[in-house]
Amino acid sequence: MNGYQMSARHQMSAADDGERVARAALTYLAEPGDPWLAAAVRRHGAPRAVAAIKEGRFPASATVTDAAARALRRWRLRLAEIPQADDLTRLAGRGYRLLCPADSLWPTGLADLADGEPYALWVRGALTDLATVAQRSLAIVGSRAATAYGSYVAAEIAASVAGRGWAVISGGAYGIDGCAHRGALSASGVTLAVMACGVDRPYPAGHKDLLDAVAATGAVISEWPPGRPTGRLRFLVRNRVIAAMTSGTLVVEAGRRSGALNTARHAAGLGRPLMAVPGPVTSDLSAGCHSIIRDWAGTLVTDADEVIERLSANGQDGQNGRDPMVRPPGPVPDAVPAATSPRSHRGRADLARDALDQAAATVLDALPARGAGMPTSDIAVRAGLEPKLVLAKLALLRVYDLAERTDHGWRASRG
């Protein structure tokens, strides 16, 4: 057992059982980053917030607006899913641990998210001391459709920084993420995968063995409880955790619409060191990296030496904190020079998804992609939205040909 590893029985916690059970319940009841729930927890504490949801009414001292009342109804849709203390014990027996903000092993950088700080983190793996690891860590992110050049650079830098005692954190996806994890593992280093689903669900399925290898020496972590599936919006929500818990973010390859730019935006907004690897000016997969360097004052880096130099440039030696060299992010310009490729073609469905508001996109994420369909009531629970609102958004999705009705309910369109 190395300095980063600690058995569950040695985990030090400042959170009592009531607080832990309440925060576990919150991960089931609401989507991460829910501003109304974060405000309720901040004002009244997690146990009182959960009690209010169960009772269907806010504490007497709370100011109740129409939006807050709608939020309460939204959370109550998932009451049947919340675990009890013995359920948490069973989950722990399966290797799924719960880490709370009051725990000594909680990554301190997550506090910079303010009301966006996770209610709790579910952890699978040998690593428990996330706080220590996060203080010397690098997020490496980029395109899923990585080129041979990007794959090599990501693996090489990951292996080099991991070999020098820095943890590598990424999202477990195909492409750059997977290369970063493999590079760190090849150097017998520590790597963490931050998921947009439950820690028990290997996503993508083709990375099951890789994620198991990550967990064997590091950790697979998530804000979502075991059993929760992925969703398009959940990847974007997840990215703020990658940016906040790490000492800095490196983007290896990213197109103009890459989700890696969302992680980079969070890193820049939090004042973390932001770096990008340059690529050919003719490559659409490097257009986002060039924009980070040109428009967001990101640092151009080409190897591990330059990465570590940048992480230590503000005198913190990798400690999480605001870096005055980082410029607040603006929009990624549409005029970024880039060659076109089949990957850059935007079809009708892509354009329709871009036009959706958050509620409609959430409903679309909740629709089953296969099978005979799902009843509206079940979709409402999965989406965490009121049935009346779900019905309205389903009608909109049907107009856009993104959802279709069957004899058994609704499903994502197969068109």
Position 3 scores a pLDDT of: 39
With beta carbons less than 8 A apart as the criterion, state whether 241 and 194 touch.
yes
Residue 250 has pLDDT above 90, yes or no: yes
Residue 224's nearest CA partner among 249, 247, 194, 246 is 194
pLDDT of residue 382: 82
Task: Name the band, by pLDDT with cuts 50, 70 and 90, for residue 4.
Answer: very low
Rounded Cα distance between 231 and 109, Å, is 25
CB 127, CB 219: distance < 8 Å: yes
Are 28 and 83 in contact by the 8 Å Cβ rule? The answer is yes
Spatial separation of the C-alpha atoms in residues 41 and 101, rounded to whole Å: 12
Q: Which two structure tokens, joined as six digits, stand for 407?
A: 């004899």
Percent of the chain with pLDDT over 70: 85
CA 158 to chain centre: 20
Average pLDDT over residues 28-34: 90
- Residues paired with residue 169 on neighbouring β-strands, in sequence order: 139, 192
Q: One-letter amino acid identity for 330? A: G
How high does pLDDT run on average in the chain?
85
Q: Tens digits of per-residue pLDDT, 122-171?
A: 999 999 899 999 999 999 999 999 999 999 999 999 999 999 999 999 99
Contact between 203 and 174 (Cβ < 8 Å): no
Question: Half-sphere exposure (CA, 13 Å, Cβ side) for 22?
Answer: 21
Q: What is the pLDDT of residue 36?
A: 82
Q: At 18, is the pLDDT very low, low, confident or very high (cuts 50, 70, 90)?
A: confident
Q: What is the mean pLDDT of residues 227-248?
A: 93
Report how far residue 90's alpha carbon sits from residue 1's, in angstroms, rounded to the nearest whole number.
25
Q: What is the token pair recorded at 24?
A: 């576990």
Distance CA 196, CA 311 (A): 26
User: What pLDDT does residue 5 have?
Assistant: 39
Check whether 336 has a pLDDT greater than 70.
no
* pLDDT score at 86: 84
Half-sphere exposure of 158 (CA within 13 A, CB side): 31
Instruction: Calculate mean pLDDT across residues 301-306.
Output: 96
**Position 332 confidence tier, pLDDT thresholds 50, 70, 90:** very low
Q: From 246, 288, 294, select the one nearest 267 (Cα to Cα).
A: 246
Predicted local confidence at residue 222, as pLDDT:
98
User: Residue 205: what pLDDT?
Assistant: 92
Least confident range from 67-71, 175-179, 318-322, 342-346: namely 342-346
Across 213-237, average pLDDT: 93
**E strand or H helix at 404, and its extent?**
strand 403-406
Sole residue written with tokens 């030496």: 305
Residue 363 binned pLDDT confidence (cut-offs 50, 70, 90): confident
Residues in the chain: 415
Answer whether residue 295 shows pLDDT above 80.
yes
The pair of structure tokens assigned to 317 is 């030696």
Number of H helices, E strands in the chain: 17, 11
**pLDDT bracket for residue 13 (50, 70, 90):** very low
Residue 103: partners with Cβ closer than 8 Å, 6 or more residues away: 11, 12, 13, 14, 15
Per-residue pLDDT at 308 exceeds 90? yes
Most confident of 33-47, 159-173, 325-339, 350-364: 159-173
Give the model's pLDDT for residue 153.
Answer: 96
Percent of the chain with pLDDT over 90: 55
Examine the pLDDT at 319 and tell me if it is beyond 60. no
**Cα-atom radius of gyration of the chain, to the nearest Å?**
21
Q: Grade residue 293 by pLDDT with cuts at 50, 70 and 90.
A: very high
Distance CA 302, CA 306 (A): 7
Would you say residue 273 has pLDDT above 90? Answer: yes
Please give the Cα distance from 264 to 248 (Å, whole number): 9
Q: What is the pLDDT of residue 125?
A: 96
- How is residue 228 written in tokens? 């929760």
| 275 phi, psi to nearest 5 deg | -130, 155
When pLDDT is cut at 50, 70 and 90, the band that residue 34 belongs to is confident
CB neighbour list of residue 137: distance below 8 Å, 6 or more residues apart: 166, 167, 168, 169, 192, 245, 246, 247, 318
Number of Cβ within 10 Å of residue 32's Cβ equals 24
Tokens of 381: 């629970």
For each of the domains in the chain, give its residue range(s) and CATH number, in order of start. 14-93 (no CATH), 125-311 (3.40.50.450), 348-412 (1.10.10.10)
Q: Cα dist. 144→102, 178, 253, 363, 400 in Å?
A: 35, 9, 9, 25, 27
- Cβ(26)–Cβ(46) under 8 Å? yes
